[in-house]
């Protein structure tokens, strides 16, 4: 039996573990794929299977089943366009069933961003400010989530920040998980720990405040705490919450779902957009791990998807840029580049392109990708306190 390829969020910290005694010798009825009746490799892209029964369902049927849940967890491989398409599809279908009664929680925003997220929903935070907020909380990748944000904004759906604050993470590093100022943390789930070991190196978490397994648990406990607070809020008593998070945090249920249920028992469903084959050109993004025996269904539903990432940036100006509060500072200009032909110079501050304000570095790069070779780009910049404008016809770099 071929086993489903799992793509997980890579943590910047290095995980060091000691082996779990006997882990390799145990066998369970649920296979490594977490799906006892249907091998995900036997599904076609777009097909959905109900994991506990092996019954294949349509998107309408899936929406009908999960409608009975208070919380619907939809996992993702962060850079996969198709996973985000599934997430939006589920949000759309639930909102159609429960208009004005659906909220969306996202790992990509910290809980500390909630006041600004509320302002955005109320139309008091500009799209530029919202994009900067995303970058501050998560980093790059805004365009992957743009269709979701557009639907959420259009329908004034509450958007909840789920991830822990930087202050909380610093407190864990300084004081350890016993700190009374941290969320209640369960560090003893044997299956959660076993899965983490398989992914991050196969060794027991090292002791001390820098233990990265503790940080993983903190992220999930913080997300779970926000979910539980939503469930207890009388204003949302008959609402549904769709949680968008990395697949690892929801798979098998022992991450965020179990931690939220511990705080506020409730009906929930887990949907996993599942990659079976990684294209050859994307193999460098794949994280391999030895399969481990977990006696749990990996989710309620598997929705098979292909693995598609945004195209690489083809159109380039040929500059090094630094994002400022207002505009982009030119750190250097490459020779014989589009920027040089436009007349852009080092220390210029780019403020507009084609008459539109430049908001963020990522946004500027995204807008460039809407151009084709041969198109004209008009740049406005500040140079020595004065405005400067230049125009260039985009050419393909000579080395491509």
Whole-number pLDDT of residue 340: 87
Nearest partner of 362 among 162, 159, 144, 147, judged by Cα: 144
With beta carbons less than 8 A apart as the criterion, state whether 256 and 288 touch: no
The pTM score is: 0.82
With beta carbons less than 8 A apart as the criterion, state whether 201 and 290 touch: no
With beta carbons less than 8 A apart as the criterion, state whether 172 and 214 touch: yes
List C-alpha distances in Å: 122 to 94, 111, 156: 22, 18, 8
Q: DSSP label at 386? A: E
278 CB neighbour count, 10 Å cutoff: 17
Whole-number pLDDT of residue 207: 52
Distance CA 244, CA 102 (A): 13
**Residue-level pLDDT, tens digit, the chain, 400 residues:** 443 444 333 333 333 223 333 333 344 445 556 889 999 999 999 999 999 999 999 999 999 999 999 999 999 999 999 999 999 999 999 999 999 999 999 999 999 999 999 999 999 999 889 999 999 999 889 999 999 999 999 999 999 999 999 999 999 999 999 999 999 999 999 999 988 888 766 555 555 445 889 999 999 999 999 999 999 999 999 999 999 999 999 999 999 999 999 999 999 999 999 998 888 888 777 777 777 888 999 999 999 999 999 877 678 888 999 988 888 999 999 888 888 888 999 999 999 999 888 888 888 888 888 788 888 889 999 998 899 998 888 888 766 5
Paired strand residues for 74: 244, 271
With beta carbons less than 8 A apart as the criterion, state whether 193 and 203 touch: no
Residue 170 burial by Cβ neighbours in a 10 Å radius (0-12, 13-18, 19+): exposed
Nearest partner of 121 among 161, 150, 156, judged by Cα: 156
Distance CA 270, CA 225 (A): 18
Residue 62 in 3-state DSSP?
A: helix
Alpha-helix runs per DSSP H in the chain: 59-66, 81-97, 114-121, 127-137, 142-154, 166-175, 190-200, 212-232, 247-250, 256-263, 338-342, 361-369
Residue 276 in 3-state DSSP?
A: coil
Whole-number pLDDT of residue 3: 39
With beta carbons less than 8 A apart as the criterion, state whether 285 and 278 touch: yes
Whole-number pLDDT of residue 272: 97
Q: How far is CA 216 from the centre of its chain?
A: 15
Give the pair of three-digit tokens for residue 228. Answer: 């539980």
pLDDT digits 0-9 by tens, 346-374: 999 999 999 888 888 888 888 888 788 88
User: Which single residue is written with the structure tokens 């639907």?
Assistant: 151
Task: Kindly give, in sequence order, each residue whose CB lies less than 8 Å from that of residue 283, ignoring residues fewer than 6 positions away.
Answer: none
Rg (CA), the chain: 23
Four-CA torsion 219, 225, 227, 231, nearest 10 degrees: 170
CATH code of the region 319-393: 2.30.42.10
The structural domains of the chain, with segments of one domain joined by +, span 23-305, 319-393
CATH 3.40.50.11550 corresponds to the domain 23-305:
yes
Helix, strand, coil share (%) of the chain residues, nearest 5? 35, 20, 45
Distance CA 8, CA 221 (A): 18
Whole-number pLDDT of residue 24: 38
With beta carbons less than 8 A apart as the criterion, state whether 340 and 333 touch: yes
Measured on CA atoms in the order 73, 75, 79, 82, is the torsion positive or negative? negative
Strand order in the sheet with 159-163: 55-57, 48-50, 301-305, 268-275, 71-74, 240-244, 102-110, 159-163
Give the pair of three-digit tokens for residue 244. Answer: 């968008």
Distance CA 354, CA 225 (A): 45
């Amino acid at each position: 039996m071929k086993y489903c390829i799992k793509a997980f969020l890579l943590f910047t910290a290095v995980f060091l573990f000691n082996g779990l005694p006997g882990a390799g010798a145990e066998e369970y009825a649920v296979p490594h794929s977490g799906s006892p009746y249907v091998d995900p490799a036997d599904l076609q892209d777009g097909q959905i299977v109900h994991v506990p029964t092996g019954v294949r369902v349509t998107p309408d049927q899936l929406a009908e089943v999960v409608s009975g849940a208070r919380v619907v967890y939809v996992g993702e491989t962060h850079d996969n366009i198709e996973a985000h398409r599934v997430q939006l599809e589920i949000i759309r279908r639930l909102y159609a069933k429960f208009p004005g009664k659906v909220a969306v929680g996202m790992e990509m925003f910290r809980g500390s961003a909630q006041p600004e997220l509320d302002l955005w929903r109320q139309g008091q935070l500009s799209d530029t400010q919202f994009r900067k907020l995303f970058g501050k909380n998560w980093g790059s990748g805004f365009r992957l989530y743009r269709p979701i944000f557009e639907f959420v904004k259009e329908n004034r759906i509450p958007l909840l920040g789920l991830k822990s604050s930087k202050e909380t993470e610093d407190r864990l590093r300084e004081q350890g998980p016993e700190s009374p100022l941290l969320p209640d943390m369960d560090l003893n789930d044997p299956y959660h720990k076993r899965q983490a070991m398989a992914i991050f190196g196969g060794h027991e978490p090292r002791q001390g405040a820098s233990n990265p397994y503790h940080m993983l648990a903190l992220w999930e406990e913080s997300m779970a705490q926000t979910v539980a607070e939503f469930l207890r809020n009388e204003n949302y008593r008959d609402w549904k919450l769709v949680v968008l998070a990395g697949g690892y945090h929801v798979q098998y249920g022992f991450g965020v779902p179990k931690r939220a249920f511990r705080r506020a028992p409730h009906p929930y469903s887990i949907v996993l957009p599942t990659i079976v084959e990684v294209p050859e050109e994307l193999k460098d993004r794949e994280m391999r791990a030895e399969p481990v025996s977990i006696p749990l269904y990996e989710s309620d539903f598997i929705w098979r998807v292909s693995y598609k990432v945004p195209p690489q940036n083809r159109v380039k100006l040929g500059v090094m840029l630094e994002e400022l509060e207002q505009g982009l500072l030119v750190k250097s200009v490459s020779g014989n580049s589009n920027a040089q032909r436009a007349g852009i110079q080092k220390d210029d501050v780019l403020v507009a392109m084609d008459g539109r304000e430049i908001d963020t570095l990522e946004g500027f790069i995204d807008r460039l990708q809407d151009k084709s070779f041969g198109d004209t780009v008009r740049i406005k910049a500040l140079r020595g306190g004065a405005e400067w404008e230049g125009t260039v016809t985009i050419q393909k770099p000579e080395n491509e």
